[in-house]
Structure 1
Amino acid sequence: MADVPLASLSLTHVHYNPNDPLSFLSAWLALVPQGLCVVYVTLIWASREAEVILMFAGQMGCEALNFVLKRIIKEERPKQMLGKGYGMPSSHAQFMAYFAIYAGLFLVFRHSPVLAHSGAAFHLLARVLLALILSLGAGAVAVSRIYLNYHTPKQVLAGCGAGAVSAFAWFFITRLLRVHGWIDWTLDLDIVRWFRVRDLLVSEDLVEAGWQQWEAKRKLKQQGSSDSQLKKAK
């Protein structure tokens, strides 16, 4: 074993200049896609929401497209970077572009929770603002790949373009699946019902719905405590 050369797991291995704060920040930004994959899996397990599963399926399809494109184009990374693999298009830029655009489309056009009329406008504004923040975050990750010399500007722009096309295409496909009843049909399958998959995220604000359930439970508990104290007093 002592003569066997050791390998490096490059999943989270990022080269950066330790004397440059922007390079250090860019190294952390490079880990955002891996972090988002953890978020995806956590949300799917915790919420069992069909829309989250659909978005993740599109994300994995976008990654598969990047894998294929890199091996068709076969363009090397910048000469300053000794990283392995092809660089066209940037997988980080493509991943983040898909994530930001699909999430933004969902927040603005598909997510329509039932709210009081007075709060509907504010809720829409908040969703638009969140979509803009996601886009800025995706842009920061894309720029970090150029700053760290992992990709050329052309490779990053190509990645953003491929991610954007993937997001719009998958959002349109999932809309057709909804319109033609394929989502409802899938949710009625025994295996899907066994996993408790549901489709509430489109029409409900899950945070607000959960809060209302909690408030109702607290009121019942407080009411029960008050009734118990009255009985003791009697």
Structure 2
Amino acid sequence: MADDTRPLASLSLTHVYYDPEDPLSFLCAWLALLPQALCVVYVTLIWSTREVEVALMFLGQLGCEAANFALKRLIKEERPRRIHGKGYGMPSSHAQFVFFWALFLVLFLFIRHKPPHDPARDARYRSRALSRAERVVGSVIAFTAAAAVGWSRVYLGYHTVRQVLVGCAAGVCCAVAWFAVTSYIRDQGFLDWALRIPLVEWFRFRDLLLEEDLCQAGWEKWEEKRIQARSSKARKVK
């Protein structure tokens, strides 16, 4: 093993070049990790909630990445000279990723987020409709984060302004198209049909994001369990 001189490769999934003397450059390096962080959030939410709405959004996000992969190899425009050799730069995959996420989230908040009023459902578990102010604040935060990521790619020298803007436009187009597709499959009943497929049922996927407050429902069930435990303990003492 000591005589092994084979060159080693670097797994550069999170490898970001930045200027260690520049605080803004350091901040941009962290902003460049937002897509990876969002993927962790996606997978965590899907695994913990099994909500099909989150799974569909993540599926669209992966499709957006596939579109970026194809566009880069179709256009074949190089990155700025300073980062030359790190793959094609048109369009920016970071900008496309975060603008898909931001716009799809906003479309969900303003179009799809309408919790149904079902008197038969336990009011304690019912999902609360977000106010317009809350939706606006969430939208501003999402787009501010997306714009910051796009700006960071130019600041770090990974992309030109044009490459970032095209990435933003591609992400917006993918988000609008995927939102239209998911709305159609909902309206036509295809989603309900898919949720009845045995394999999907085996994974326990459900569609309650707009109907049930997941945090409150879990807390209420936990409270009921503690009350029952205290009652049982009191009966044993008597």
Structure 1 position 216, deviation (Å): 3.0
Matching residue within 168, 171, 174 for 2:176: 168
Check if 1:143 corresponds to 2:190.
Answer: no
- AA at the equivalent of 2:170: A
Structure 1 position 226, deviation (Å): 4.2
Check if 1:133 corresponds to 2:141.
Answer: yes
Matching residue within 105, 108, 130 for 1:106: 108
Matching residue within 58, 73, 78 for 1:56: 58
CA 1:132 to 1:34, structure 2 compared with 1: closer, same or farther past 3 Å? same
TM-score, normalization by structure 1 = 0.90
CA 1:192 to 1:161, structure 2 compared with 1: closer, same or farther past 3 Å? same
- Aligned to 2:82, what secondary structure does the other structure show? coil
- AA at the equivalent of 1:10: S
Does the 8 Å CA contact 1:93/1:142 hold for their aligned counterparts? yes
Output one character per residue of 1:148-189: Cα deviation in whole Å (capped at 9) or x when no partner.
000001000100100011011101110000000000000011
CA 1:28 to 1:211, structure 2 compared with 1: closer, same or farther past 3 Å? same
CA 1:206 to 1:114, structure 2 compared with 1: closer, same or farther past 3 Å? farther
Matching residue within 3, 6, 24 for 2:5: 3
Residue in 1 that maps onto 2:120: none
Output one character per residue of 1:74-118: Cα deviation in whole Å (capped at 9) or x when no partner.
1110112234110000000000000111112112221233588xx
CA 1:50 to 1:122, structure 2 compared with 1: closer, same or farther past 3 Å? closer
Does the 8 Å CA contact 2:128/2:213 hold for their aligned counterparts? no
Residue in 1 that maps onto 2:40: 38
Following superposition, which runs of at least 4 residues in structure 1 exceed 6 angstroms of deviation? none
- AA at the equivalent of 2:23: P
Does the 8 Å CA contact 1:93/1:156 hold for their aligned counterparts? yes
Output one character per residue of 1:106-150: Cα deviation in whole Å (capped at 9) or x when no partner.
12221233588xx96764432332222111111111111011000
Give the Cα–Cα distance (whole angstroms) in 1 for the partners of residues 107 and 219 of structure 2. Answer: 25
Residue in 1 that maps onto 2:223: 215
TM-score, normalization by structure 2 = 0.88
CA 1:114 to 1:211, structure 2 compared with 1: closer, same or farther past 3 Å? farther
Uncovered stretches (5+) of structure 2, i.e. residues with no partner: 118-122
Output one character per residue of 1:6-25: Cα deviation in whole Å (capped at 9) or x when no partner.
22222111000001011001
Give the Cα–Cα distance (whole angstroms) in 2 for the partners of residues 114 and 177 of structure 1. Answer: 19
Give the Cα–Cα distance (whole angstroms) in 2 for the partners of residues 73 and 113 of structure 1. Answer: 43
CA RMSD of aligned residues (A): 2.0
Residue in 1 that maps onto 2:83: 81
Residue in 1 that maps onto 2:67: 65
- Aligned to 1:80, what secondary structure does the other structure show? helix
- AA at the equivalent of 1:206: L
CA 1:175 to 1:99, structure 2 compared with 1: closer, same or farther past 3 Å? same
Give the Cα–Cα distance (whole angstroms) in 2 for the partners of residues 155 and 163 of structure 1. Answer: 12
Does the 8 Å CA contact 1:113/1:205 hold for their aligned counterparts? no
Residue in 2 that maps onto 1:201: 209
Uncovered stretches (5+) of structure 1, i.e. residues with no partner: none
Residue in 2 that maps onto 1:92: 94
- AA at the equivalent of 2:145: G
Percent of aligned pairs sharing the same letter: 57
Does the 8 Å CA contact 1:112/1:204 hold for their aligned counterparts? no
